[in-house]
Amino acid sequence: MRLSFSSPILLISYLSSWEYPGSQGIGCNAVNPDDTTNFLTFLQQLRADPVGKNLILTAATSVFPWVGPSGARLTDVSGFAKTLDWIAIMNYDIWGSWSSAVGPNAPLNDTCASPANQQGSAVSGVAQWSAAGMPANQIVLGVASYGHSFFVDKSAAITSSGKMNAYPAFDASKQPTGDKWDDGAGTDECGNVSGPGGNFDFWGLIDAGFLTSNGTAASGIDYRFDTCSQTVGFPA
């Protein structure tokens, strides 16, 4: 089979590999202040093409609008709204092994958290994209069915009253291994040595004995429900 420019699958696959215009991704990407402007120009030229005008174009985006030439996040994304059929906000990996503390992977809300813990959420992300000019009917919310694991000392994890702390510090040098599908230790594309990913898919939490088959906490497993982010955390 011969693939051509008219293949929407090939084109969308190409577009979705850029994370993110104007921002550093994995850590060793070349970043140009005009990345986001050039990305929009590319999309506009593509839409002007006889083939491109009939394609379904989407973008998997960061939680907040992309960074513009000034280094600040865009406050006007109306140009993207005219060229893209929809965006998918990736509301996951908000907190992880790169963070300063344990936090929710895919928070529903963070506007009710302390300022230091407002790293992004479904509520704040949709609000900012909408305020910048992306119509609500062109926004798809990406959610996760996995979570990150952390090594937290018991003194940091549990309060004196026996309750779980929110946003405790963790020891990044002791990254736990996740489920059977978790990435092992290795070297990334930038040449940095990293430990295991520490990710648990939903089925992995059941397989490891943290959850029962119906998704409830297994016997002997303590957990904490955060009313702001609407997420659950529990100690291993």
Beta bridge partners of 61: 89
What is the structure's pLDDT at 177? 94
Share of the chain above pLDDT 70, in %: 92
Mean pLDDT taken over the chain: 89
How does strand 186-187 pair with strand 193-194?
antiparallel
- In the chain the domains, ranked by start, together with CATH numbers, are 8-90+107-142 (3.20.20.80), 146-236 (no CATH)
191: alpha, beta or left? (left if phi > 0; alpha if psi -120 to 50): left
- Least confident window among 36-50, 62-76, 220-234: 220-234
Instruction: With a cut of 70, say whether residue 12 has pLDDT above it.
Output: no
C-alpha to C-alpha distance for 84 and 207, rounded to whole angstroms: 40
- The pLDDT-based confidence of 236 (bands split at 50, 70, 90) is low
Q: What is the mean pLDDT of residues 62-70?
A: 95
- Residue 124, classed as helix, strand or coil, is helix
pLDDT per residue over 91-109, tens digit each? 999 999 989 999 999 999 9
Nearest alpha carbon to residue 91 among 113, 71, 117, 110: 110
Structure tokens at 119: 């790293």
pLDDT per residue over 118-170, tens digit each? 999 999 999 999 999 999 999 999 999 999 999 999 899 988 888 898 999 99
- Residue 21, classed as helix, strand or coil, is coil
66 burial (CB, 10 Å; 0-12 / 13-18 / 19+) is: buried
